[in-house]
Amino acid sequence: MLGVLNHPKLIYDWFTTTLLRWSGDGLVIYDQWVLNLSGVSEWQGGGGEVLLDFYYLCYLIAFIGVLFFFTRYRKQGWLKVRPHVPYDALLLTMIGVLCGAKAAYIFIYNPDFYFGAPPYGPVDTSDQLRRIFLNWSGMASHGAAAGVLLMALLWWLKARPKIPIAQIGDVGGIAAAFGAIWIRLANFMNAELYGRAAPDWLPWAMRFPVRSGKGHPVVFFNHSLYESMSKPTDPAQAETWLHSLQQANPGGVIDRGGYVLFKNPDAYLQGYDLAVHGKDGLQIVDPPPLDSIQIGDPFSVITTPRHPSQLYQLILEGLIVFIILLVMRKRVKRAGMIAAGFFTLYPLARFIGEFFRQPDVQFQDESNHLGTVFFGLSMGQVLSLIMAGVGITMFLYFRGKGRIIAEQEMWPAEEKGAPKPKKDGKAKKKNAPVSVPFEKGMGGSTGAGEIAGLGDVRAALAEKEKEWDAKHEKLQGDAPDESDAEPDADEESSDDDSNREPRQPEPGD
């Protein structure tokens, strides 16, 4: 082996790389350093509230990219929409991506975790709801694409026939490829979705922490492999959950206080090595020298050298597709072609990348160690074929029936007879109520807000503003209207400041 790099996530047990955490010791940075009134010191652990992790930082950057590209192309005149439309597009994109990606993961990749029986499934209804709505680990990119398509369809049904949904999809495809770059970077930083076994001559092969099919870290303890599983925080749920573990594997449960070691024969179907954290850093040991560590401390379990497939996919699905779509934008004449290009190029790149990526452990068993699902293909490749079929269909349709981009009209069209805002140079009245500005964005003229369920919120705000107006009128009836009084000299205003004489300094100035 010319060189094997140890992945930085190797020393952490968290599902996602935590950047900022608030604990009893103070502000924890990257789960390594704690910052408090005493200065900066090495963190010894102890939990705490996660403020920011790398995964959702990358999601935030991806969503900012959506707003950036929509606003940029609108200002350039290529996308002829009103200034508020990019915000409507961002709203529906966030709903489609987050809900679609999560739903696909729940129902396709890991249904047992959400609907199965304990010990891996929820112990009661409240635990099930917590897993569905509060546990956002696990997101499927094909589900995200399906969710965005669904939001686009609803938007088109709500605002047709004038809505330029195809060209909106073009910008969305460019933004999606940009977002894929960051999401794959997050996968790499989290040491998840790593690659298949790499050959000995590959200099950039890496080792990653081994996890079970349920996402739990795997450790070596007492000459056996165990899953390290955190206890539920609720005492009643923890008792029920621990009882189910003992029933599932009598004698294979070791309670270590805050977590449990659960012996599971299916937790190590992938190739692995053993490692121990010593003074010289991480050391790979096999068989483990038990006399070199304290008795009772479990060994870390890491993979054999693997392809860093997250970086391969970053380049294939993100960077290359992103560049091709940018080139297409300057060449295509019909709306919808770039969106079709994304739905064709992305799954093609994903299909290629899956040959280097370790298939999902959820589909592994004793007779299928690799985890393929259909004629030697992984689940990701099967879904990519379906997505590519959608993309090719879109390409054939928009090639002949897509609107000519140069002939697009401004959308939404300006309403005839709509009152224009008056320019009032007078100072605001004292004790004036706070006004809630109802812009046409977020569904006012495009229907996006109604799809997202913001109609009730807008109605409630309108009623609240009426209450404020009524209170203000009552106050005005009890107090003199200062606006009718002669204004002070300092409050006078003029359209041309050059005609105003400079104020003479007073004593003490």
Select from 237, 242, 267, 266 the least CA-distant residue to 254.
242
> In this predicted structure, what is the pLDDT of residue 94?
94
pLDDT for residue 384 is more than 60:
yes
pLDDT grade for 492, boundaries at 50, 70 and 90: very low
Total length of the chain: 509
Name the pLDDT band for 509 (thresholds 50, 70, 90).
very low
Residue 463 has a pLDDT of 81
Of 177-186, 311-320, 468-477, the range with the lowest mean pLDDT is 468-477
Alpha helices for 117-261 (secondary structure H): 125-134, 141-159, 165-189, 235-248
For 238-265, the pLDDT digits (tens) are: 888 888 888 888 888 988 877 889 887 6
* Cα 41 to the center of its chain, rounded Å: 31
Least confident interval from 74-83, 185-194, 275-284, 477-486: 477-486
Q: Look at residue 130 and give its three-state secondary structure.
A: helix
Above 50 in pLDDT, residue 377?
Answer: yes
Over its C-alpha atoms, the chain yields an Rg (Å, rounded) of 29
Query: Which residues fall within 8 angstroms of residue 278, CB to CB, at 6 or more apart?
Result: 292
Domain edges within the chain: 53-194+309-407, 209-303
Q: How confident is the model at residue 479 (pLDDT cuts 50, 70, 90)?
A: low
For the stretch 107-143, pLDDT in tens is 988 888 889 888 888 888 888 888 888 766 778 889 9
Average pLDDT over residues 489-509: 44
Would you state the pLDDT for residue 6? 53
Stretch 25-32: mean pLDDT? 87
Q: Whole-angstrom Cα distance, residue 273 to residue 302?
A: 5
Please give the pLDDT value at position 381: 92
CB contact at 8 A, 405 and 332: yes
Per-range mean pLDDT, top range of 44-48, 315-319, 367-371, 416-420: 315-319
Please tell me the distance from the alpha carbon of residue 132 to that of residue 309, in angstroms, as a whole number: 28
Read off the pLDDT of each residue in 437-456 and give the average, rounded to a whole number.
66
Model confidence at 308: pLDDT above 70: yes
Q: Is 19 helix (H, G, I), strand (E, B) or coil?
A: strand
In this structure, what are the phi and psi dihedrals at residue 24, rounded to the nearest 5 degrees? -65, -20
pLDDT score of 231: 83
Q: What is the pLDDT at residue 43?
A: 85
Q: What residues are paired with 23 via a beta bridge?
A: 26
Rounded Cα gap, residues 316 and 184, in angstroms = 10
Q: What sign results for the dihedral spanned by CA atoms 341, 146, 167, 176?
A: negative
Check if the beta carbon of residue 191 is closer than 8 Å to that of residue 303.
Answer: no
Whether residue 344 is predicted with pLDDT greater than 80 in this model: the reply is: yes
| pLDDT band at residue 104 using 50, 70 and 90 as cut-offs | very high
Question: Which single residue is written with the structure tokens 């300006």?
Answer: 414
Give the span between the Cα atoms of 452 and 445, in whole angstroms: 14
Instruction: Give 2 or 376, the one with higher predicted confidence.
Output: 376
Is residue 67's pLDDT more than 90?
yes
493: alpha, beta or left? (left if phi > 0; alpha if psi -120 to 50): beta
* pLDDT, average across residues 80-96: 93
Of 406 and 289, the one with more pLDDT: 406
- The predicted pLDDT at position 461 comes to 75
The mean pLDDT value for 338-355 works out to 96
Mean pLDDT of the region 215-225: 79
Residue range 211-230: average pLDDT? Answer: 80
What's the confidence (pLDDT) of residue 60? 93
Answer yes or no: is pLDDT of 228 > 80.
yes
Q: Tell how strand 205-207 and strand 4-6 pair up.
A: parallel
> Which candidate, 346, 336, 354, 325, places its Cα nearest to that of 388?
346
Q: What mean pLDDT value characterizes the chain?
A: 80
Question: For residue 381, which of 399, 363, 400 has the smallest C-alpha distance?
Answer: 363
Q: Is the pLDDT of residue 434 over 60?
A: no
pLDDT for the residue 415: 59
**pLDDT digit string (tens) for 133-181?**
876 677 888 999 999 999 999 999 998 888 999 999 999 999 999 999 9
Asked if pLDDT for residue 405 goes beyond 50, the answer is: yes
Q: Given this model, what pLDDT does residue 508 score? A: 43
Return the structure tokens found at 18: 């935590």
Range among 56-65, 277-286, 293-302, 425-434 with highest mean pLDDT value: 56-65
